[in-house]
Amino acid sequence: MNIALIAHDLKKEELINLTVAYRDVFARHTLFATGTTGSRIMKATNLNVCCLKSGPFGGDQEIGALVAQNEIDAVFFIRDPLAALAHGSDVTALLRLCDVQCIPVATNIASAELLVKAIQRQELGWRDVVHRYRNDRRNGTEG
């Protein structure tokens, strides 16, 4: 699975702690993250993370582009609901794209733990169907 990891500044430590606690789960998947978050996760876990731009500089939009192409299977976006963000419209757009593509999203540490446990138990198998369908369409073999 392709997993996106994003966290607002005051929530980065929570996401890092989650990735440390469930390192074995995340290690079995391809990870994408916004800049600072990804760098800090790599340092804490030694996991390989494809780091995109920082959120305010377009990282949320880069992940959104992957979501729009159905290239992301799950999003961990640990948000700070009390922070005023200059790029709030980017956040809203990313969450809307996840809804459009039916991508599971965790926006707080409680829902993040539920999502990581579902991934651990391989309960998102329907994403495999999405990938097969997308590949069939690319290859012109859809039935």
Chain segment 81-104, per-residue pLDDT in tens: 887 665 566 788 899 999 999 999
Under DSSP, is residue 7 helix (H, G, I), strand (E, B) or coil? strand
Q: How many domains does the chain have?
A: 1
Kindly state the average pLDDT of the residues 103-126.
94
- Going by pLDDT thresholds of 50, 70 and 90, the confidence category of residue 125 is confident
CA dist 20 and 35 (Å) reads 18
Domain with 15 in it: 2-139
> Is the model more confident about 9 or about 90?
9
Specify which residues 50 forms β-bridges with: 32
CB atoms within 10 A of CB 139: 8
Helix residue ranges per DSSP H, the chain:
12-21, 23-26, 35-45, 59-68, 88-101, 109-120, 126-139
Kindly list the distances between the CA atom of residue 107 and the CA atoms of 11, 55, 137, 140, in Å, as whole numbers in the listed order: 10, 15, 32, 36
Residue 28 maps to which CATH number?
A: 3.40.50.1380
Q: Which pairing describes strands 30-33 and 105-106: parallel, antiparallel, or unpaired?
A: unpaired
Average pLDDT, the chain: 89
Rounded to two decimals, the pTM is: 0.88
Residue 111 has pLDDT above 90, yes or no: yes
Catalogue the active-site residues.
Answer: 60
What CA–CA distance (Å, rounded) separates 53 from 101?
A: 22
